[in-house]
C-alpha cells in the first residue's frame, strides 16, 4: 500500500430502520385521552347491573330446577310406595270378593290374616316399624297420651292400652301412638 492513497475508513454502524408507523421508544407519545369519571362510573354501573341480572337469572333457574327435582323425587318415592302397597290392595279386593261367595267365617278370617301379614311384610321392606306399645314406659317422643287410667294391672307411667299404633321409619316418627297411660289406683276412702 502506498502512502499516497487515503485509507478507507470502515465503520460498522448498524442502523435499524424503524418499522413503518412505529414511533421510536424515546419519541413523545400522545397523552392519553382524559377519562370522564362520570362516564367511567356509568360504564361500571352498567357492567355490574348486567352481572347482577345474569346472577339473578342463574339463581332463578337454579331455584326452578331444584323445585322440579324435588317434585320428581317425591313422585318417585310415592310411586315406589304405591308399587309396594298395590299388591296388598289387590289381595284385599280378592278377600272381599271371596267373602261374598264363602259361607264360613274362618276362611274369611284366614284371608284377612294373610293380607295383614303381607301388609306387615311390606312395611318391613320399607323399613317402617311399629312403635312399642302396651307394657312399655310412656315416651312423649313417640306416644301421645289420650287418657290416664287408674289400674293395678300395669305399673304407673306405662302404657295400659293402645288406641292407635304409632309408626317410625328409622329415627323419623311417621305417626305417634295414641295410648292410655296407667296411673296408680286411688287408695280406698276411709269408711268413717
154 in Cβ contact with 161 (< 8 Å): no
Q: What's the CA dihedral at 6, 7, 12, 17 to 10 degrees?
A: 20
What is the helix (H) or strand (E) element at residue 128, kind and residue range?
A: strand 128-130
More confident residue, 86 or 49: 49
Name the most confidently modeled range: 16-20, 83-87, 183-187.
183-187
The rounded Cα 67 to chain-centroid distance in angstroms is 10
Domain at 129-186, CATH from 2.102.10.10, 2.40.50.140, 2.60.40.290, 2.30.22.10: 2.30.22.10
Burial 83-116 (b: 16+ CB within 10 A, else e): eeeeebeebbeebeeeeeeeeeeeebeebeeebe
User: How many other C-beta atoms can be found within 10 angstroms of the C-beta atom of residue 162?
Assistant: 19
**What's the CATH superfamily of 40-126?**
GrpE nucleotide exchange factor, coiled-coil domain (3.90.20.20)
Q: How many CB atoms lie within 10 A of CB 143?
A: 21
Which of 4-8, 15-19, 69-73: highest mean pLDDT? 69-73
pLDDT at residue 133 greater than cutoff 70: yes
Pick the most confident of 71-80, 109-118, 129-138, 181-190. 129-138
β partners of residue 161: 180
Say yes or no to pLDDT of 104 above 90: no
Per DSSP, helices labelled H in the chain are 37-101, 105-125
Indicate the Cα dihedral angle 39, 44, 45, 46, nearest 10°.
Answer: 90
Cα dihedral 115, 119, 124, 128 in deg (nearest 10): -150
Rounded to an integer, the average pLDDT of 138-158 is 91
Asked if pLDDT for residue 5 goes beyond 70, the answer is: no
Q: Among 167, 80, 180, which residue's Cα sits nearest to residue 129?
A: 167
Domains in the chain: boundaries = 40-126, 129-186
Amino acid at each position: 500500500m502506498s502512502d499516497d492513497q487515503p485509507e478507507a475508513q470502515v465503520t460498522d454502524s448498524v442502523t435499524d430502520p424503524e418499522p413503518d408507523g412505529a414511533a421510536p421508544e424515546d419519541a413523545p407519545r400522545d397523552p392519553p385521552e382524559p377519562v370522564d369519571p362520570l362516564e367511567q362510573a356509568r360504564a361500571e354501573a352498567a357492567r355490574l347491573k348486567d352481572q347482577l341480572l345474569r346472577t339473578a337469572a342463574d339463581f332463578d333457574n337454579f331455584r326452578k330446577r331444584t323445585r322440579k327435582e324435588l317434585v320428581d323425587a317425591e313422585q318417585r318415592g310415592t310411586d315406589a310406595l304405591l308399587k309396594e302397597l298395590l299388591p296388598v290392595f289387590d289381595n284385599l279386593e280378592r278377600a272381599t270378593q271371596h267373602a261374598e261367595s264363602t259361607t264360613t267365617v274362618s276362611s274369611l278370617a284366614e284371608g284377612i290374616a294373610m293380607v295383614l301379614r303381607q301388609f306387615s311384610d311390606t312395611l318391613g321392606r320399607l323399613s317402617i316399624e311399629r312403635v312399642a306399645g302396651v307394657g312399655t314406659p310412656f315416651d312423649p317422643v313417640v306416644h301421645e297420651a289420650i287418657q290416664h287410667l287408674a289400674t293395678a294391672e300395669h305399673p304407673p307411667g306405662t302404657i295400659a292400652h293402645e288406641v292407635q299404633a304409632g309408626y317410625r321409619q328409622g329415627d323419623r316418627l311417621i305417626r305417634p301412638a295414641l295410648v292410655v297411660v296407667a296411673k296408680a289406683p286411688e287408695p280406698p276412702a276411709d269408711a268413717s
